[in-house]
Amino acid sequence: MAATLSLEDIQLLNMLEQRTGAQGIDVVRTETGFVFVVATGHAGKAIGKGRENLRRLERELGKSVDVVETADTLEAFARNAFKPALLRTVEVKEDQGNKKVFIKVDGSQRGLAIGRNGETIKKARVLLQRRFDVQDVKIV
């Protein structure tokens, strides 16, 4: 499912590409900042050595910036959206056209998968809904 980009989104993606050389695919606004979805293999470029590129973008935008690498499958994209948390399994259940994703993590990774104030799981929900039409994401 392709997300519709506004003119402002396109400008943000152009800024990402000009500043980092990484190919941006999508951008999502969160409560605290922006999440850029970049092409496969471009996360390193977008982040930069020692997070240099992310810090520069954060200064310019005045908000936090996160990067998620795209993937062809829902499962692989979910793993990328939850990084750096290590996921044990990603299970997709579909009922009457509604997709739900169940993420299993070890206890030591649970806090990382949820994120401070639930930011990581909120980000993953929005990204998975935009990219794969997922209705809900749960950590079990």
- 97: exposed, middle or buried (Cβ count in 10 Å: 0-12, 13-18, 19+): exposed
pLDDT of residue 31: 85
pLDDT of residue 126: 95
pLDDT of residue 32: 87
pLDDT of residue 65: 97
Q: What are the distances in angstroms from CA 51 to CA 42, 46, 61, 104, 125? A: 14, 9, 15, 28, 24
Residue 38: which of 7, 63, 60, 65 has the closest Cα?
65
pLDDT in tens, the chain (140 residues): 557 899 999 999 999 999 999 999 999 998 889 999 999 999 999 999 999 999 999 999 999 999 999 999 999 999 999 999 999 999 999 988 899 999 999 999 999 999 999 999 999 999 999 999 999 999 99
Domains and CATH numbers, the chain: 7-69 (3.30.300.20), 74-139 (3.30.300.20)
Note the pTM of the prediction, 2 decimals.
Answer: 0.91
pLDDT of residue 2: 59
